[in-house]
Amino acid sequence: MFSTRQLFFEILAQTSPAPIALEIEKASGCWLYSPEGRKYFDLIAGVSVSNIGHNNPVVINAIKQQLDKYMHLMVYGEFIQKPQVQLAEALCSLLPGALNSVYFTSSGSEAAEGAIKLARRYTGRHEIISFKNAYHGSTLGALSVMGNETLKRAFRPLMPSVRQIEFNNEDSLEAISHHTACVIAEPIQAEAGVIVAEHDFIRKLRNKCTEKGALLIFDEIQTGFGRTGDIFAMDCFKVYPDIVLFAKSLGGGLPLGAFISSRDVMSALCSNPALGHITTFGGHPVSCSAGLASIEYIIEHRLAENACRAGEKFRELLVHPAIREIRGKGLLLAAELENTAVVKKAIKRCLANGLITEWFLFDEKSIRISPPLIISESEIREVCKIIIKSLDEV
Ligand code: PLP
């Protein structure tokens, strides 16, 4: 008889030679529990997914109610399914008026793919600009706009006419031209190690796109729904795109993504040819019910404000000679240490001390601080004590 652990390594495809490989039996709020009854504080939140905490009863209830009605009925876009309509209405009410047409997908990568197709189809252009160290997903189109050669090289040839420019470098915006279909950007680059866009840069990016007739796509997949201290990171800049991408916490813990534009832009996917983007499970009714309950919870409990306060508390309490800098906004933070070796040791010590954290895809010198947004002050104190103790042990 093989143990679950042995089977995990034996028959589940591995994404790296060194997975965390922690077995979890249940989860609640900010905490994960192993089968042996050990509890771990979750400082990653499933990579910015569990904004409202694990197994939030409000979302569980919404899921159960929808399960009693129906699950999958038909591919996206054919039947009228109330959970999709209600969630789209809630999203549009939080966005500027021009972002009023919602296309639901199953994942963030699929939202990026759909948005890139839409921009190419709407503008009739094919050049795409993205940023160095950007992450927009792992499918072929999303990989093409990724700003990291190490992850891309082995999969070439990728999508043609794609180039990466420097984030927060105004001179690099000169690359945007009348040939550019779209520029895709994270207002806060998460996997780069939480690099916040400068106000002037993002405003000039918007202006340049408008001047050249290129669509601006904001990827708010990791920054959305209260994480950065505003409902969306772009709210802090008061700069808005032509297309916005959501996923991760959008589904309240269930798989769901979306790309949202104006009705005029979005109409390019429904004719010539019709069915310009098709998805079977996009906007799954159970995910949409969970998503609506989750957004209502975030607003009712003012979780964006809590993220702001909590972020400040982390900065106040996380003082240690090994921490060189804390970057980010709200509860999307990166604590930079001396080097990758120190980060790896610190993460191991944190795990041994009951805290789960990680480095970033494109920044192995920093540890991730992105817990559920429901974190309380006493939990922040507990977490900071564990991090400081772990850094002392490195
Ligand atoms: N965009 C950003 C900013 C992300 O962080 C991610 C996932 O980490 C994606 C896109 C891709 O989303 P998914 O993993 O749901 O395909």
Using one digit for the tens of pLDDT, what is the confidence trace for 272-324?
999 999 999 999 999 999 999 999 999 999 999 999 999 999 999 999 999 99
The CB of 373 under 6 Å from ligand 1? The reply is no
In angstroms, the CA 227 to CA 247 distance is 13
In angstroms, rounded to a whole number, what is the distance separating the alpha carbons of residues 331 and 158? 34
Q: Could you read off the pLDDT of 212-259 as tens digits, one per residue?
A: 999 999 999 999 999 999 999 999 999 999 999 999 999 999 999 999
Amino acid at 382: E
Looking at ligand 1, which residue's alpha carbon is closest to its atom 5? 222
> Does the fold of domain 58-300 match that of domain 4-55+302-393?
no
Task: For residue 109, report the distance from its CA to the centre of ligand 1, in Å.
Answer: 6
Exposure b/e, 126-162, CB count within 10 A at least 16 = b: ebbbbbbbbbbbeeebbbbbbbbeeebeeeeeeeeeb
Residue 136 in contact with ligand 1 by CB distance below 6 A: yes
Q: Which residue has the tokens 């508390």?
A: 313
Is 361:191 a contact under the CB 8 Å cutoff?
yes
Q: pTM, whole model, 2 decimals? A: 0.98
Cα–Cα dist 58/250, whole Å: 15
Q: Quote the CA–CA distance of 338 and 327 in Å, as a whole number.
A: 14
3-state SS assignment for residue 54? strand
Q: What is the model's pLDDT at position 1? A: 86
Residue of 113, 136, 223, 232 to mutate, ligand 1, most atoms within 8 A of C-beta: 136
| Torsion-angle region of 329 (φ positive above 0: left; ψ -120 to 50: alpha; else: beta) | beta
Residue 35 and residue 262 in contact, taking contact as beta carbons nearer than 8 Å: no
Q: Is the CB of 184 under 6 A from ligand 1?
A: no
Q: 107: CA distance to ligand 1 center in Å?
A: 8
Tokens linked to 5? 């652990």
Give every residue of the chain whose pLDDT is below 70, as ranges.
none
Report the nearest-CA residue for atom 10 of ligand 1: 136
Q: Hey, what are 284's tokens? A: 């799954």
Ligand 1 centre and the CA of 246: distance in Å?
Answer: 9
Q: Tell me if the domain spanning 58-300 has CATH number 3.40.50.1110.
A: no
CB of 50 within 6 A of ligand 1: the answer is no
- Burial of 90 per CB tally in 10 Å (0-12, 13-18, 19+): middle
- Annotated domain spans of the chain: 4-55+302-393, 58-300
Ligand 1 within 6 A of CB of 192: no
Cα 285 to the chain's mean position, in Å? 21
Pocket flag, ligand 1, residue 208 (CB < 6 Å)? no
> From the alpha carbon of 248, which atom of ligand 1 is closest?
15
Residue type, 297: Y
Q: CATH number of the domain at 4-55+302-393, please?
A: 3.90.1150.10
Q: Is the CB of 107 under 6 A from ligand 1?
A: yes
Residue 186 CB less than 6 A away from ligand 1: yes
* β-bridge mates for residue 216, sequence order: 183
Distances in Å between the alpha carbon of 197 and those of 85, 99, 141, 187, 337? Answer: 33, 21, 24, 6, 22
For residues 259 and 243, is the Cβ–Cβ distance under 8 A? yes
Compute, in angstroms, the gap from residue 37 CA to the centroid of ligand 1. Answer: 31
Q: Which atom of ligand 1 is nearest to the CA of 191?
A: 5
Centre of ligand 1 to C-alpha 287, Å, is 17
Q: What is the pLDDT of residue 145?
A: 98
Task: Report how many helices (DSSP H) and strands (DSSP E) the chain contains, helices first.
Answer: 14, 16
For residues 394 and 322, is the Cβ–Cβ distance under 8 A? yes
Q: Whose CA is nearest to atom 15 of ligand 1?
A: 108
247 Cβ closer than 6 Å to some ligand 1 atom: yes
Backbone phi and psi for residue 63, each to the nearest 5 degrees, phi listed first: -65, -45
**The amino acid at 42:** D
Q: Is the peptide bond before 371 cis (omega within 30 degrees of 0)?
A: no
* Rounded-to-integer distance, Cα 219 and Cα 13, Å: 28
